[in-house]
């Protein structure tokens, strides 16, 4: 398994637990910083299967009960509480400090029997004819080490090792976004069950949006997402300056961050939305971001990393037992995974459609309220939930053409 993020650690844990010999190679030394801190409720089931629930319950990660939207002029919607829609312990999730969360998942893989090597970069995947047969490690001044494997799992995140190597990576041109983000200490936190709420705060004139995610150690993660033309290309070459300028222009953030320390490091991510035309081939499988990433809105990334890692582990285990690790057998989970990806993609496209509003969509289609909430919680694989997509796409087309006709800006 190449990469020890949530996807790689999940595949490694679930295979090692069933007695498969697993070697996981991670280029960094954990703990390391990573973005992607807000979980969605449906992560519960894979975390439960991994044996992580008790560990998370014992952690100091804030519990996330809700999501709340705040307009560009500071008007707050009522928080949407997941457990009120679906009263179950799986409906309350966590906001995670990824350095700690990813270390916990990697330790878990080790406890399940996987061998984990950190500070070990995979330099190449070895092929014989068209079959992946192992990896070559970075030499580090010594002679290059090669390791053979029945199956190579690409869990390299946005590096997408296999998709790049085999020219399978497909950018999503409808979702070309950039993000600027940082951790603040001492920012405002709500109290009680609202402490761990994710806030989605619209930028002035809906030119983008901020996430506001409370974390342990009195940290809050704040990120600004928008078109690269607005955030990067048109603003000089100082993303940190753009970030603080937009915070200053946003009343809801200005007040929440007024007593917070200025972060020492501001991060930038750009052009992060893509897919891959294949999820597996002879002797290899891709999982998590290595396979594709959509967009930060709706926090689908870690969920998809966990479930694709889980689906891949099941497919690999079945393939090893069958003695057939061909691409055809290893990619048996493709249809199911793609249905979930399509579901998220559709609601993300809706969010970015100029003039679109979920509130107004539901006024026209109140019967789809349950489906929409299910999707936002991550319940994306149930075929019934997908019944929302025909009316949703018709509604998007109608608001888009009206908005373009009257020249409005997008509204929330
Ligand atoms: C701006 C932004 C905001 C986001 N916010 C959220 C959010 O709020 N909630 C959410 O759920 N998701 C969010 N995401 C998505 C989330 O970060 C990812 O989906 C998630 O981290 C994917 O997990 P992964 O295991 O596939 O990849 P990663 O977590 O990226 O792990 C990949 C690992 O592979 C290692 N690696 C790479 N190359 C090699 C190599 N050659 N050899 C060895 N090791 C290698 C890396 O060091 C890394 O540790 C966000 C993403 C972005 C861009």
* Residue 405 pLDDT > 80: no
Confirm if 188 and 231 have CB atoms less than 8 A apart.
no
* Residue 234 pLDDT > 80: no
pLDDT band at 410, cuts 50/70/90?
very low
Give distance in angstroms: CA of 154 to centre of ligand 1. 12
CA atoms in the 13 A half-sphere facing the CB of 196: 22
pLDDT band at 235, cuts 50/70/90?
confident
* Residue 228 pLDDT > 80: yes
Phi and psi, residue 208, nearest 5°: 175, -165
Q: What is the pLDDT of residues 367-377, one digit of tens each?
A: 999 999 999 99
Phi-psi region of 276 (alpha: psi -120 to 50; beta: other; left: phi over 0): beta
Instruction: Kindly give the number of the ligand 1 atom that is closest to the alpha carbon of 288.
Output: 26
Edge-to-edge strand list for the sheet holding 178-185 = 80-81, 66-70, 198-202, 208-214, 219-226, 178-185, 267-270
* Residue 89 pLDDT > 60: yes
Give distance in angstroms: CA of 302 to centre of ligand 1. 8
Give distance in angstroms: CA of 75 to centre of ligand 1. 33
The candidate with the shortest Cα–Cα distance to 404, out of 368, 355, 359, is 355
Residue 17 confidence (pLDDT): 98
Provide the 10 A C-beta neighbour count for residue 195.
14
Give me the chain's average pLDDT, please.
94
CA 45, 51, 57, 60 torsion: positive or negative?
negative
* Residue 280 pLDDT > 70: yes
Ligand 1, atom 5, residue with closest C-alpha: 36
Instruction: Kindly give the number of the ligand 1 atom that is closest to the alpha carbon of 300.
Output: 11
Residue 263 confidence (pLDDT): 86
Ligand 1, atom 14, residue with closest C-alpha: 36
Give distance in angstroms: CA of 34 to centre of ligand 1. 7
More confident residue, 410 or 319: 319
Longest dimension (CA), the chain: 66
pLDDT band at 357, cuts 50/70/90?
confident
Instruction: Kindly give the number of the ligand 1 atom that is closest to the alpha carbon of 308.
Output: 26
pLDDT band at 406, cuts 50/70/90?
very low
Ligand 1, atom 30, residue with closest C-alpha: 157
* Residue 404 pLDDT > 70: no
pLDDT band at 359, cuts 50/70/90?
confident
Give distance in angstroms: CA of 3 to centre of ligand 1. 9
Q: What is the pLDDT of residues 140-158, one digit of tens each?
A: 666 789 999 999 999 999 9
Give distance in angstroms: CA of 286 to centre of ligand 1. 13
Q: What is the pLDDT of residues 90-115, one digit of tens each?
A: 999 999 999 999 999 999 999 999 99
Ligand 1, atom 41, residue with closest C-alpha: 122
Give distance in angstroms: CA of 287 to centre of ligand 1. 11
Burial class (CB in 10 A: 0-12, 13-18, 19+), 348: buried
Ligand 1, atom 31, residue with closest C-alpha: 5
Residue 232 confidence (pLDDT): 87
Residue 206 confidence (pLDDT): 86
Site to probe by mutation for ligand 1, drawn from 1, 2, 3, 14 as the one with most ligand atoms within 8 Å of Cβ, is 3
Which segment of 108-112, 257-261, 353-357 scores lowest on mean pLDDT?
353-357
Q: What is the pLDDT of residues 5-62, one digit of tens each?
A: 999 999 999 999 999 999 999 999 999 999 999 999 999 999 999 999 999 999 999 9
Give distance in angstroms: CA of 289 to centre of ligand 1. 6
Distance in angstroms (rounded) separating the CA atoms of residues 60 and 207: 34
334-351 and 301-322 are packed helices; what angle lies between their axes, rounded to 10 degrees?
170
Distance in angstroms (rounded) separating the CA atoms of residues 66 and 241: 31
User: What percent of the chain is predicted at pLDDT more than 90?
Assistant: 87
Residue 403 confidence (pLDDT): 59
Distance in angstroms (rounded) separating the CA atoms of residues 6 and 390: 33
Distance in angstroms (rounded) separating the CA atoms of residues 138 and 121: 6
Q: What angle do CA 226, 161, 327 make, to 5 degrees?
A: 115
- Which residues have C-beta atoms less than 6 Å from ligand 1? 2-8, 25-28, 34-38, 121-122, 155-159, 161, 179, 223, 269, 272, 288-290, 293, 296, 299, 301-303, 305
Q: What is the DSSP letter of 216?
A: S
* Residue 358 pLDDT > 90: no
Residue 139 confidence (pLDDT): 64
Q: What is the pLDDT of residues 171-218, one digit of tens each?
A: 999 999 999 999 999 999 999 999 999 999 999 988 999 999 999 999
């Amino acid at each position: 398994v190449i990469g020890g993020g949530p996807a790689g650690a999940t595949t490694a844990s679930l295979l090692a637990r069933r007695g498969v010999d697993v070697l996981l190679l991670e280029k960094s030394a954990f703990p390391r910083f990573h973005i992607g801190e807000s979980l969605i409720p449906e992560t519960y089931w894979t975390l439960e299967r991994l044996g992580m629930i008790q560990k998370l319950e014992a952690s100091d990660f804030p519990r996330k009960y809700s999501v709340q939207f705040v307009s560009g002029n500071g008007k707050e919607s009522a928080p949407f509480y997941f457990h009120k829609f679906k009263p179950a312990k799986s409906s309350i999730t966590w906001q995670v400090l990824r350095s700690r969360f990813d270390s916990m998942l990697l330790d878990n893989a080790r406890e399940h029997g996987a061998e984990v090597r950190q500070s070990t970069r995979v330099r190449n995947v070895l092929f014989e004819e068209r079959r992946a047969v192992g990896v070559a490690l970075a030499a580090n001044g010594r002679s290059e080490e090669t390791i053979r494997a029945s199956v190579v799992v690409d869990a390299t995140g946005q590096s997408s090792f296999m998709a790049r190597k085999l020219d399978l990576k497909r950018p999503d041109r409808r979702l070309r976004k950039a993000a600027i983000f940082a951790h603040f200490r001492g920012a405002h936190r709500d109290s009680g069950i609202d402490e761990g709420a994710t806030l989605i705060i619209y930028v002035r004139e809906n030119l983008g949006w901020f996430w506001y995610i409370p974390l342990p150690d009195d940290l809050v993660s704040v990120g600004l997402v928008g078109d690269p033309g607005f955030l990067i290309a048109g603003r000089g070459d100082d993303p940190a300056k753009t970030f603080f300028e937009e915070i200053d222009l946003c009343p809801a953030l200005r007040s929440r961050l007024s007593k917070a320390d200025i972060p020492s490091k501001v991060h930038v991510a750009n052009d992060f939305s893509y897919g891959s035309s294949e999820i597996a081939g002879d002797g290899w499988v891709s999982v998590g971001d290595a396979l594709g990433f959509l967009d930060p809105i709706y926090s689908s990334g870690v969920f998809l990393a966990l479930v694709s890692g889980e689906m891949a582990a099941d497919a690999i285990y079945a393939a090893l037992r069958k003695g057939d690790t061909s691409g055809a057998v290893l990619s048996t989970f493709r249809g199911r995974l793609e249905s979930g990806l399509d579901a998220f993609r559709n609601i993300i496209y809706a969010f970015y459609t100029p003039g679109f509003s979920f509130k107004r969509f539901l006024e026209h289609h109140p019967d789809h309220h349950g489906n929409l909430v299910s999707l936002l919680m991550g319940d994306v694989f149930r075929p019934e939930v997908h019944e929302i997509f025909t009316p949703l796409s018709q509604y998007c087309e109608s608001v888009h053409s009206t908005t373009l006709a009257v020249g409005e800006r997008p509204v929330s």
